[in-house]
Amino acid sequence: MADYQTIPRTGAGTRALEIDEGLRAHMNKVYGLMSVGMLLTGAVAWAVGTSETLLAIFRDPATLQPNILGWIVMFLPLIMVFAFGAVLQRASAATAQLFFYAYAAVMGLSLAWIFQVFTGVSIAQTFLITAIAFAGLSLYGYTTKKDLSGFGTFLMMGLIGLLVAMVVNIFLASSAMAFAISVIGVLLFAGLTAYDTQNIKNTYLQHAQVGDSEWLGKAAIMGALQLYLDFINLFMFLLQFMGNNRN
């Protein structure tokens, strides 16, 4: 009978296993931070949106048009996104995480109006469908062997075009253009969900050898922000199709 001996694990194999385990921990942290941000956004949006007194602080109770404070709340998330890069560079990972949670709370304020326009059932249904679609798209981005990096430029150009179209339609108020924007928005952020997930994974793998825990913590926060924005935008564009008006 042959004498079989256990082959010792090589250093390279051990390192590969450590990186694989580190990647799983990194992605779990990304999804965990994103989930907390989503819960915070939903809680703030529901608390303000279901209270006419609180919502009146930001919008006219009759028309739901934003007042001065409402306009500030609408544009504050955009300002905070642009400031996020500077926060990551200059602040600690703990401070950046608090900034992300503050951003999620402000986003909740900016979205509170949907509880006055759409029924609670349709909001819940849209959220559930968004969560299922997001999970599938993110899983695809994580597991696929296909390199999605080539779609990055196309998706960014599409995002810029979408923003321009949305600004133009504020003045045109075209229902046909609004429908087209919603369709393109769903497709665009579906693609961004898969793309961003793969990019988060690849970024970790490229820097895992360094083992900088501070950088890894900030990278997880940035990844959470990217996927959070993909989810929020996917949800809002789907709500245009699936949301039932209260009136």
| CA dist 79 → 82, 113, 117, 157 (Å) | 5, 20, 26, 20
In a domain, 136, yes or no: yes
pLDDT digits (tens, 9 = 90+) for 106-122: 999 999 999 999 999 99
What pLDDT is stored for residue 3 in this prediction?
47
In a domain, 15, yes or no: no
In a domain, 13, yes or no: no
Q: How far apart are CA 70 and CA 81, in angstroms?
A: 18
Q: Is the pLDDT of residue 173 over 90?
A: no
In a domain, 14, yes or no: no
Q: Which amino acid is at 155?
A: L
Q: Is the pLDDT of residue 70 over 80?
A: yes
Confidence category of residue 16, pLDDT binned at 50, 70, 90:
low
What pLDDT is stored for residue 150 in this prediction?
87
In a domain, 221, yes or no: yes
Strand partners, 245: 118
If one compares 128 and 19, the residue with the highest pLDDT of the two is 128
Residue with the two structure tokens 């825990």: 213
Least confident of 1-5, 85-89, 213-217: 1-5
In a domain, 4, yes or no: no
In a domain, 127, yes or no: yes
Residue 235 belongs to domain spanning: 22-242
In a domain, 7, yes or no: no
- Report the percentage of the chain scoring pLDDT > 70: 90
Quote the number of domains for the chain: 1
